[in-house]
Amino acid sequence: MAGDVENWRTGGPGDHGLELTEKCDAGLDVNELTCLAIRHMAIPPNPVKSHLNCRHKRWGQSYELVFTVAAILALRNDGEVSIANSEHETNRLIESEDPKSDMNEHMGGFIFRYDDATVLISGDGRFLKPDRPEHLRQRYMEGETPYRLALDIEEELGLR
């Protein structure tokens, strides 16, 4: 689960010296692996920017559901599907598609791409592109599994 966090830099935070995969294989506890990775990458313990008012905090379980669906897509389609969630990647597209984009908090959306197909889902689970009336959270609450929701996005991308 921890994976390799090393950057292709040497002599500083994030260089090749951590060897998390080997430590994981040796049975080191995941909590300790995570702490080692944070220290090795010199990630500050306090965020530079507060996320107290971010949409993903307010949307809570809806955002977690979309993140879970994204993780399933990533695991099922290793290297085939491009998944973006960072503000830098998503904001411009979300601003053009989401009627709620004028809110103060960052968007929190997810972009899924395969070949020429794109699916854009807001952090609260609304389909923005293609524009569809159903909502991931609503479908989940009606009994659909995150796995089935991921399959639906794969179908929309033309993977199935």
Give the model confidence (pLDDT) of 59-94 as tens digits. 678 888 998 999 999 999 988 998 887 666 666 666
Question: What's the maximum distance between 2 C-alpha atoms anywhere in the chain?
Answer: 52
Strand partners, 83: 112
- d(C-alpha 151, C-alpha 139), whole Å: 13
Cα–Cα dist 149/101, whole Å? 24
Q: What is the pLDDT of residue 1?
A: 39
Rounded Cα–Cα distance for residues 68 and 89 (Å): 19
Distance CA 135, CA 121 (A): 9
Q: Could you tell me the strand order of the sheet in which 110-114 lies?
A: 82-84, 110-114, 117-121, 127-129
Q: How far apart are CA 85 and CA 33, in angstroms?
A: 24
CB 77 within 8 A of CB 154: yes
The pLDDT mean for the chain works out to 78
Which sequence spans correspond to the domains of the chain?
Answer: 1-46, 55-157
pTM for the complete prediction? 0.62
**CA–CA distances in Å: residue 30 to residues 15, 19, 51:** 20, 14, 25
* Residues 53-63: tens digit of each pLDDT: 565 556 678 88
